Amino acid sequence: MFVAMRLVLVLLLVHLGVAARAAEPSTLRISVIPTSVLAPLYAALANGYFKDEGLNVELAPTAGGAIGIPGLVGGSYDIAFSNNVSALSAVAQGIDVQLLAPFPDGAADETAVIARKGEGIKTGRDLNGKVVAVNTNKNVIWLYVREWIRQTGGDLSKITFREVAFPQMLDALKQKQIDAAFEINVFVIAAGKDPALEIVSFPYREVQPQVQPSQFVATRKFIQGNKDKIDRFLRALNRGGEWFDANIGKDELFALVAGFTKLPVDVVRKMNFQPVAKKLELAELDKTMALMKREGLLKADVDTKAMIYTP
Amino acid sequence: MSTIGTIGEISRTGARTNRAAQLIGVRLYGLLLILVLLSLWELSARLGWVVSAYWPPVTAILRAAVGELAGGDMLDALASTLRRAAIGYIVGSVVGVVLGILLGKSRVLRLALLPLIEIIRPIPTPAVIPPLILFLGVDDALKIFIVSLASFFPVFTNTISGVAAIDDTLIQTARTFRIGWLRTLVSVVLPATLPAVTAGLRTATSLTLVVAVLAEMIAGSSGMGYYLVQMQYALRPDLMYAAVLYLAIVGYCLNRAFIVLEARFVPWIGKT
């Protein structure tokens, strides 16, 4: 009886999992975070470019990027939205992922260190003895704010890094639980309007102006078994990128971004949209790898050239 | 109708009225406290006592909550969470009751399975979500499994304790009358363990919604957990708190429904 019960439970769970994951031959399941940099993807979807390529793209929005690569490995997704640090860490740990396509430039101008106004925090040196908030320790935001602090005279051994979710950072700052925060675009715009706060620096721009922090990734195994599907996906995405570039500053783009991010249109209008990067830059990935090695996130070099997918 | 009968009735009616008045009085104090706290919240947001983008006035939250009734994503999210929570609750509870009875009755099974169950039991639910993603993916299977796991333990531990506490005379009497194991199970063991099972089910009921929302917050692409996080990032605290309000209402209703069902089907609970 016990064995039968277990069998029923396993079958039920397997059925639920398989039913949800079963994919048609032309279906691609993509893990995304509803953030403005994904506008080219949503444009391709809204304009039917994936359909034109015979693809049925299913988006699986998630609240955070942490499950992207585990979701790829577990087979929940075919393609995931991730970042360069997570991808390099994955490859170093033997998870063979490749970067497929870059996103619009602009991270350098939209991601900023915020501090309380009038407290004289202008450089890394001013943060000695202070608390700096990052969304996740030992990931991309943490890596670049540490490098900016180092380059601007800060002593990392005297600075505490505290994990705070992006939506809570500004409140934590105003309540003096932290002294600075490395924030993303929506909250940088909110901080810009807040008289108690000020934008101190754009660490990406200062550390590595052409950095490509976000990419689509997939496992090499999936790419090799589905090369035609991946190439069709990239062609459609490229058309989405062209639509995006042509509509920067226009109402159509604002409406699209407001639709999938659920942000108020007036906030979207203040975003600094930049054209889509033409290709993945090996040199930029190498710079990120060098920073990771310095911080101890990587013990040895990773074959970055092999990480970039070429159709 | 006799005079004595009439006086008795009047006396009983008077007692009932007094009890009702007392109950309303007690409830009124509770309601009053909630109203005072909500008024303070409203004032703190309107007068700037609390300065935060995530501290909207209560009236804005209520407006958002009512607005969602006319059509929005929130009710779909709620339905999705409730569906997962219900399936997980049923699976976890059924397995909990069955295993609780089997292990309660079988020493061999107890020795074989109890150590494993006791090792898994104290692991916090959020801690098992990341490794489970690798095995179950991030879809319904993961969330339903997490809810089942959370529902299983209180039901299982209460059931096994209930079985252990059955008066041996009852079992021996069934044996004396040569009653088969299935009939003994249905007519003796189950009714005797029902109060313990019900206590476990009640604990599981309160956990179910919490765990479903938590799983959706960590690895969700739909449901109230995902909706809450999405609204945080979309700078919509009014909708975020409205979602919390709906969850509170649903949680309260589930608890009340359980009490009603408990009184209907296991009326002897708490009366011994």
Digit-coded pLDDT (tens) for A186-232: 899 889 889 999 999 999 989 998 888 888 999 999 999 999 999 99
Identify whether residues A147 and A277 lie together within a single domain. no
Q: Poorest-confidence range of A20-34, B102-116, B250-264? A: A20-34
Q: Poorest-confidence range of A22-36, A88-102, B118-132, B184-198? A: A22-36
Distance separating alpha carbons of residues A191 and A197, to the nearest angstrom: 6
Please state, in angstroms and as integers, the Cα–Cα distance from residue B227 to each residue in A21, A46, A111, B223, following that order: 22, 22, 24, 6
Distance separating alpha carbons of residues B1 and B72, to the nearest angstrom: 61
**So what's the pLDDT on residue A68?**
80
**A5 with B221: Cβ contact below 8 A:** no
Q: What is the mean pLDDT of residues B18-22?
A: 72
Q: Is residue A108 very low, low, confident or very high in pLDDT (cuts 50, 70, 90)?
A: low
Distance separating alpha carbons of residues A152 and B38, to the nearest angstrom: 47
Examine the fold and report which residue of A177, A207, A237 is the final residue of a domain before the chain moves on. A207
- Please name the member of B99, B140, B230 whose beta carbon is closest to the beta carbon of A262: B230
Q: Is residue B115 very low, low, confident or very high in pLDDT (cuts 50, 70, 90)?
A: very high
Residue B212 has pLDDT above 70, yes or no: yes
Digit-coded pLDDT (tens) for A122-145: 999 999 999 999 998 998 999 999
The distance of B236 to chain A (nearest Cα, Å) reads 8
Residue A260 has pLDDT above 50, yes or no: yes
- Please name the member of B98, B138, B232 whose beta carbon is closest to the beta carbon of A76: B138
Give the side-chain half-sphere CA count within 13 A for A167: 16
Q: What is the DSSP string of A158-198?
A: G-EEEE--HHHHHHHHHTTS-SEEEE-HHHHHHHHH-TTEE
Closest residue of A to B103, CA-based?
Answer: A2
**So what's the pLDDT on residue A9?**
43
Structural domain harbouring A203: 108-207
Mean pLDDT of chain A: 87
Residue B170 has pLDDT above 90, yes or no: no
Identify whether residues A100 and A6 lie together within a single domain. yes
Examine the fold and report which residue of A184, A207, A230 is the final residue of a domain before the chain moves on. A207
A13 CB near a chain B CB, below 8 Å?
A: yes
Identify whether residues A86 and A41 lie together within a single domain. yes
CATH (domain of A302): 3.40.190.10
Distance separating alpha carbons of residues A55 and A230, to the nearest angstrom: 10
Identify whether residues A98 and A228 lie together within a single domain. yes
Structure tokens at B45: 């947001």
Identify whether residues A112 and A43 lie together within a single domain. no
Identify whether residues A58 and A173 lie together within a single domain. no
**A73 with B220: Cβ contact below 8 A:** no
Distance separating alpha carbons of residues A29 and A41, to the nearest angstrom: 13
Q: What is the CATH number of domain B58-265?
A: 1.10.3720.10
Residue percentage of chain A with pLDDT more than 90: 62
Number of domains in chain A: 2
Distance separating alpha carbons of residues B163 and B160, to the nearest angstrom: 5
Q: Is residue A151 very low, low, confident or very high in pLDDT (cuts 50, 70, 90)?
A: very high
**B217 with A63: Cβ contact below 8 A:** yes
**A74 with B221: Cβ contact below 8 A:** no
Digit-coded pLDDT (tens) for A76-92: 889 998 889 999 999 99
Examine the fold and report which residue of A207, A238, A272 is the final residue of a domain before the chain moves on. A207
Identify whether residues A187 and A39 lie together within a single domain. no
Identify whether residues A193 and A46 lie together within a single domain. no
Q: Poorest-confidence range of B77-81, B88-92, B219-223, B231-235? A: B219-223
**A16 with B144: Cβ contact below 8 A:** yes
**So what's the pLDDT on residue A288?**
95
Distance separating alpha carbons of residues B154 and B159, to the nearest angstrom: 8
Residue A294 has pLDDT above 50, yes or no: yes
Distance separating alpha carbons of residues B110 and B99, to the nearest angstrom: 10
Identify whether residues A49 and A140 lie together within a single domain. no
Q: What is the mean pLDDT of residues B126-154?
A: 87
Residues of B with CB under 8 A from a CB of A: 51-54, 91, 95, 98-99, 102, 109, 130, 133-142, 144-145, 148, 217-221, 225-226, 229-236
Digit-coded pLDDT (tens) for A9-28: 444 444 444 444 444 448 89
Identify whether residues A228 and A189 lie together within a single domain. no
